[in-house]
Structure 1
């Protein structure tokens, strides 16, 4: 028996690690400029200080993003405000604590011998205000990101959440998506490629693309391995939909898909394609 999966609406967009890296670089550069202007310390001290301030913002920002998407998006105003207050305070305190630890490590005798010293009350108040402001910016960006994904999905009817496949004696042959009040099937044979990001995947077919709440690992386990190959840690391709492949250097291949998309394989992915296609 073939396996079928029903999907439902979900507004959360996938996470782009390139955007995370870009944001981290911007935050790091801003802190480096501020520390240079305020303290006039050497290059090494400035870079270490900027790193100590950047790491808590990035790590806690990722945690805050997940909490906002999972628990706050789409909630009523009162619950949304209370949720943001709780998450914002948690963000501010956790980022402050992590900053103190990192500064202690930087100025300590060794990685096991260092002091964690709190700021004086004025510096602590300023740091808390700074962290809350940073959280406000992160929360606004997350809401804008979710709203943009929802609007895009509304325009093409393609934001869906795929329930995790249940065990059955066969491969995934098709699944259902909810488009407005209708439920329509998507044939797995029509899939051209699947790109993964965090807990979501973007499925491309000849008719368009849509987001599904399903990891690439889950897709890989559900799809027929004779027809689909994971050619990169972030891509699965339909081997029947490869128009051509060309060497990309270092044992990799550049796949030209039927829809015009070009996907570069990893070395391991190249071996999978060569073993079954070339």
Structure 2
């Protein structure tokens, strides 16, 4: 929860099922309706069935792939490009498989008994596969437009070792954050979870930003996804392999990596 008692909702989560998604689905449906009406000229019942047979599998495939696309977009360009190529192939194959399954179910005597036959073969199957690659590219561009602008400043401080209360921004809301009450910070993609003696607050700031701003004499990055306040460290227990389990004044124990454990041991007297 935030410091005012509200449960924070990340911006990316709020976008799921947004008006833009509904508009995109309506546009795709209208495009399929117009295409089948112009090329096949079926009756209205067949037109709606054929459109649904194509749109529903596409919507399911896009919904499954979208979270993975958003994760890949946060990576560096080189590994992201490789993963995009692999996911595009999976996207196309999944869409083709769902099209085949939908055709079998709608063409059978009942939804419980049906025979799966190839939906497309030869050049038509190849065309459908490349169509899936194209649609995946559109989905990736769509998700890229929704990525939060990373240049926005969400933590306001007087300097990297400021001791006065910081202001953190969650959307349009500003709330004070006293460093003396900050126990630890956990990173999660583009967001960070601030654990204080007053509760938990989620802010749209990467963990690396906090690491650069906070006093390194008091705050130590003990894991790639965790920074602790040494003032709130109660004890550190060995966890094997050079790692440590850190017990804080609040919250669950934190696992320190080998590098984080070395940084803590270097401070021991």
Shorter-chain TM band: 0.5 to 0.7
3-state SS in 2 of match to 1:163 = strand
1:150 matched to 2:149: yes
Structure 2 matches for 1:128-167, cutoff 5 A?
128-146=129-147, 149-151=148-150, 154=152, 158=169, 161-163=191-193
SS in 1 for 2:95: helix
Q: What's 2:85 paired with?
A: 85
Equivalent residues in 2 for 1:172-211, closer than 5 Å? 172=199, 178=205, 180=209, 181-182=212-213
| Alpha-carbon distance, 1:110 to partner | 1.1
TM-score normalised by length of structure 1: 0.53
By relative contact order (CA 8 Å, sep 6+), the higher-ranking structure is: 1
29 and 172 in structure 1: CA distance in 2 versus 1, 3 angstrom threshold: same
Q: Tell which structure's C-alpha radius of gyration is larger.
A: 2
* 1:206 corresponds to: none
Cα RMSD (Å) of the superposition? 3.3
Q: 1:111 is matched with which residue? A: 111
Question: 2:27 and 2:154 mapped to 1: Cα distance?
Answer: 33
Q: How many residues align?
A: 170
Whether the 8 Å CA contact 1:92–1:131 is kept in 2: the answer is yes
Map Cα deviations across residues 127-186 of structure 1 (whole Å, 9 max, x no partner).
11111110000011111211xx225x61666576243869xxx86276777585446xxx
Query: Which segments of 5 or more consecutive residues in structure 1 lack a partner in the other structure?
Result: 4-9, 184-278
Equivalent in the alignment of 2:70: 69
Listed as ranges, the gaps of 5+ residues in structure 2 are 4-9, 156-168, 171-189, 215-269
Q: Distance in 2 between matches of 1:132 and 1:103?
A: 21
Q: Is the 8 A contact 1:12 1:69 kept in 2?
A: no
Structure 2 distance, partners of 1:104, 1:177, is: 45
Q: Structure 1 residues 173 and 133, CA, compared in 2 at 3 Å: closer, same or farther?
A: closer
TM-score, normalised with respect to structure 2: 0.54
Q: Which residue of 1 aligns with 2:55?
A: 54
Distance 1:135 1:178 in 2: 28
